[in-house]
Amino acid sequence: MLRLSILLFLLTYFLSVTATELKKFSLGVGYYSLQLYDEAESYDSDRFNGLSLSASYMFTNRIALRGNYYKLSQSDFAYRDADGWEVLAFFGNGLATQGGKWYVGGGYFNEQWHASSVSNTFNGPQLGGGFGYNWETVALDMQLTLRDTGDYDDTLSTQSTEIVTAGVLTLILSARF
């Protein structure tokens, strides 16, 4: 009886996934927050917040590619801003169909910080994941990404501190096509 129940569950699951129309593309706008922490966890002046534009392509219901462009300003110091882009490949479930979804993956980021006449460029690999919900024509995602701190540490650290975490939180509202 247990085997029959499991078989019926799996059959229902796979039929519902194949019977649902797959939406392969989405365009979105979102809130983007970058936060850097030092080894003493007392250094939080490198916090940037702003907006992002996002485009995603779902190859299947389990594999997707997302690109984000973002423009940020520093929360504590109005004279410094940042802009950049990132590309992420995700593996998950529910990416192209209606309903709940989750995903994990990685990618690459490239950003520039601007202050007066000084500009710094940071880039490198990142790992992330997220979850959300797809309605028929709209999607909502929350994504958390951890970045390699190498470039940040080379530029921002002092002899007494070291950047140990660079994290990004993104909330994206998208139109699905």
pLDDT, tens digit (0-9, with 9 covering 90-100), for 80-101:
899 999 999 999 999 999 999 9
Strands annotated E in 39-98? 47-58, 63-74, 80-93
Q: Which domain holds residue 91?
A: 22-176
Has residue 26 been placed in a domain? yes
Has residue 111 been placed in a domain? yes
Q: Report whether pLDDT(15) > 60.
A: no
CATH number at 79 reads 2.40.160.20
Amino acid at 45: S
**Whole-Å CA distances, 134 to 22, 35, 47:** 11, 28, 30
Per-residue pLDDT, 157? 74
Has residue 44 been placed in a domain? yes
Global confidence as pTM: 0.83
Q: Report whether pLDDT(2) > 80.
A: no
Backbone angles phi, psi at 15, to 5 degrees: -65, -40
Q: Report whether pLDDT(44) > 70.
A: no
- Looking at the structure of the chain, the number of domains it has is 1
Give CA torsion, residues 72, 75, 81, 84, to 10 deg: -30
Report pLDDT digits (tens) over 111-153. 999 888 889 999 999 999 999 999 999 999 999 999 999 888 8
> 124: left (phi > 0), else alpha (psi -120 to 50), else beta?
left
- Other beta carbons within 10 Å of 50: 18
Per-residue pLDDT, 7? 64
Has residue 1 been placed in a domain? no
Has residue 36 been placed in a domain? yes
Mean pLDDT, to the nearest integer, of 37-48? 70
Has residue 159 been placed in a domain? yes
Q: Report whether pLDDT(16) > 60.
A: no
Has residue 51 been placed in a domain? yes
Q: How far apart are CA 2 and CA 9, in angstroms?
A: 11
Has residue 7 been placed in a domain? no
Which of these, 42, 10, 13, 17, lies nearest to 95 by C-alpha position? 17
